[in-house]
């Protein structure tokens, strides 16, 4: 990804999907597949960081509103959190598929 200043889960997931498609192409060289695998691992780390930052920001907002983080977490999970968790799981799935494709090339 060219610019890393405004990375979102959507950007990460989109790129991981592109990587999976590229690695699943049987004509890809092993070197290219490994390069893409390394990129996918880095993207997974970025997705994890984005999730942690989002949760920390939400906790700070809850505390600023005078609420308890535990109460807010127990009360409900917002649509944004569900989406972030779902996309994080999607990134892990894409990483696993990329690993499978690389192993088939070996």
| Rounded Cα–Cα distance for residues 102 and 17 (Å) | 15
pLDDT score at 7: 83
Which range of residues forms the domain containing residue 81? 9-19+31-105
Rg (CA), the chain: 17
Whether 73 is covered by a domain: the verdict is yes
Assess if residue 25 is contained within a domain: no
Encode pLDDT of 42-96 as tens digits: 999 999 998 888 888 888 888 888 766 555 555 545 555 555 555 556 667 777 7
Within a domain: 99: yes
Q: How confident is the model at residue 2 (pLDDT cuts 50, 70, 90)?
A: very low
In a domain, 55, yes or no: yes
- If you write DSSP's letter for every residue of 64-79 in order, what string do you get? HTT--HHHHHHH---H
- Is residue 48 one of the residues assigned to a domain? yes
- The Cα–Cα gap between 15 and 10 comes to 9
Tell me the pLDDT tens digit for each residue of 63-75. 888 766 555 555 5
The model carries a pTM of: 0.54
Q: Would the CA dihedral through 12, 18, 23, 28 be positive or negative? A: negative
Residue 14 covered by a domain: yes
Residue 3 belongs to some domain of the structure: no
What is the number of domains present in the chain? 1
- H helix runs in 4-105, sequence order: 9-24, 30-64, 69-75, 79-105
26 within a domain of the structure (yes/no) = no
């Amino acid at each position: 990804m060219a610019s890393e200043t405004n990375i979102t889960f959507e950007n990460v997931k989109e790129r991981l999907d592109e990587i999976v498609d590229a690695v699943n192409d049987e004509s890809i060289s092993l070197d290219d597949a490994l390069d893409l695998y390394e990129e996918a691992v880095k993207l997974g780390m970025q997705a994890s960081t984005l999730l942690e930052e989002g949760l920390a920001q939400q906790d700070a907002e809850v505390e600023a509103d005078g609420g308890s983080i535990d109460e807010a977490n127990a009360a409900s999970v917002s649509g944004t959190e569900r989406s972030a968790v779902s996309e994080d799981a999607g990134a892990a799935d894409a990483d696993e598929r990329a690993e499978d494709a690389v192993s088939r090339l070996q």
